Structure 1
């Protein structure tokens, strides 16, 4: 069964084909920047009962080196079947598209899988390999940890992929907070797909709930499906428990999580003050201050 992180790790290249140019820089590969990119069919099935599909396939155009094909595979764990299917993909695509150069990029979310995927795959005899495949691998071992808002704004697509590949990083809270802050000034049509891809890429990890809470701090500038879902959940909870009470409860939980992610230490008294607050407007003000606060006093200072 295909997981949502699997989909996000390769679909982000469909949404942002130019992202590979930045990823190749991170990986230390000198590849000309694209002038255009076309999403191609991913079905590599032949006229026999064997179905083979690459996750994402792009035709990249460049000014200096001409076109090439970029096959992208999202890999969640080691899979020995890939030792035969990946060389097949590359040789088949090379033949089907009239000898165009083919690159294989494997995107992973854990170090062990990334290390496994990076091994050259050789077909032939030990003393004379007939075909050797060298996949490019992007994962937590080489994708940047972006915790600077200005850096994230420079390339939101790369920041999104980096956040997805670092989904299990102990500092993922800071990474997601940075990405969320970078999106605040982004247009809707830019922010919406990033919000969704990030949520999809985090899957059912604890970080996914952190991302939902960060987005829920101010859903007014997020019109995405996930934000609508958050609002719907709030309305349903409001009908069950009373709208104001349900909203306040969710805001209090979100505030406590944000303060935890930012490393702000809370006393039992402060934690109780937040948990027992039933004023949604007051909690909303605290939530906004929490996104930039450095101490717990900064959250409450204007209310004193």
Structure 2
């Protein structure tokens, strides 16, 4: 289970290693078509008490073997370049294979910061220069055509995740949900989950996507789809309670409104809705003997 946008930004490369081919094309890199891809352990700890882990590590085998370390970066961090340089040096030493670092970001300022080359060494001689590849809202395409999304679902999902704060993200999400209607649930499920988790830090985009999944993909029975539909039903019932109270001119204090809208128990909301029809005050919808908190 993917639990955050940070995980989604790198885990999508674990689930769909071929996504890097699409990203490479977008970034203007030589076309990489490996014979095979292996998901490697992400532990880059030395025999000392400091533990270091890259977010995702892939090995591409073929005519041009390489290691791909994928890091999800949510904000600027002055300590990160040193860690990234260490990762690349360690991986090159351990695997004897050329390493690349891909940093995935959700905002332009962080992406532009991460893309800056970092010379390591004295000013007059950079012994090493860190040059990360960066995928973010500054260079990832706005995939708003369902046919284009259907051609590369993983790239469309990454497009949505990296453009989560962009006003045009709704167009990407519409295209993605439309494309997913025509694919088997086994194919759609991981895309839905990664997109859902990838948007979780941006409320507007997250809510828009959940509404699309609840309506456009209502025939799917996956755990994430059911979770989204349950949330939608709970939200609708909470709104019904507030509408009933408003129609009866009953004042609803802020703390009671928050208690109603914050409840995700459909059975409890159903009981509150029934009481809202006759309760003399907003507080009384919680006061029945069988009320549960």
TM over 0.5: yes
Number of the residue aligned with 1:266: none
User: 1:221-272 CA distances to partner (integer Å, 9 max, x unpaired)?
Assistant: 322222111343466679x78xxx79xx9xxxxxxxxxxxxxxxxxxxxxxx
**In the alignment, does 2:191 pair up with 1:194?**
yes
TM-score (norm 2): 0.77
Q: Does the CA contact (< 8 Å) of 1:184 and 1:221 recur in 2? A: no
Inter-partner Cα distance in structure 2 for 1:203 and 1:153: 23
Change (3 A) 1:145 1:237: closer
Contact 1:106 1:138 in 2 (8 A): yes
The secondary structure found in structure 2 opposite 1:221 is: coil
Task: Quote the Cα distance in structure 2 between the aligned partners of 1:13 and 1:110.
Answer: 19
**Other-structure match for 2:122:** 125
* Aligned-partner SS, 2:104: strand
1:127 CA drift (Å) = 1.4
Within a 5 Å distance, the mapping from 1:231-250 to structure 2 comes to 231-233=229-231
Q: Answer yes or no: is 1:18 the counterpart of 2:15.
A: no
What secondary structure sits across from 1:129 in the alignment?
Answer: coil
2:51 maps to: 51
Deviation track 1:141-162 (CA, whole Å, cap 9, x = no partner) reads: 1000011111111111111101
- State which structure, 1 or 2, has the greater radius of gyration over its C-alpha atoms: 2
RMSD over aligned Cα, in angstroms?
2.2
CA contact (8 A) 2:81 2:130 kept: no
Q: Which runs of 5+ in 2 are unaligned?
A: 245-293
- Give 1:5 deviation, angstroms: 1.0
TM-aligned CA deviation for residue 61 of structure 1: 1.4
Aligned to 2:264: none
CA distance in 2, matches of 1:4, 1:110: 16
Rounded to whole Å, the distance in 1 between the matches of 2:129 and 2:76 is 19
Q: Quick check: 2:177–2:216 contact (8 Å CA) kept in 1?
A: no
Task: Give me the whole-angstrom Cα distance separating, in 1, the residues matched to 2:232 and 2:187.
Answer: 25
Q: Residue 107 of structure 2 aligns with which residue?
A: 110
Of 208, 230, 255, 2:228 maps to 230
- Structure 2 partner of 1:32: 32
Q: Is the contact made by 1:8 and 1:200 (CA closer than 8 Å) also made in structure 2?
A: yes
Aligned residues: 240
Q: Which residue of 2 aligns with 1:161?
A: 158
Distance 1:3 1:233, change over 3 A: closer
- Structure 1 residue aligned with 2:81: 83
- Structure 1 counterpart of 2:208, from 190, 207, 210: 210
- Specify every segment of 5 or more residues in structure 1 that has no aligned partner in the other structure, as ranges: 250-304
1:139 aligns with 2:136: yes
Q: Aligned with 1:227: secondary structure?
A: helix
Partner of 1:74: 72
- The alignment partner of 1:34 has SS state of coil
CA contact (8 A) 1:87 1:121 kept: no
TM, length-normalised to structure 1: 0.74
> Hey, what's the Cα distance between the residues in 1 that align with 2:6 and 2:223?
19
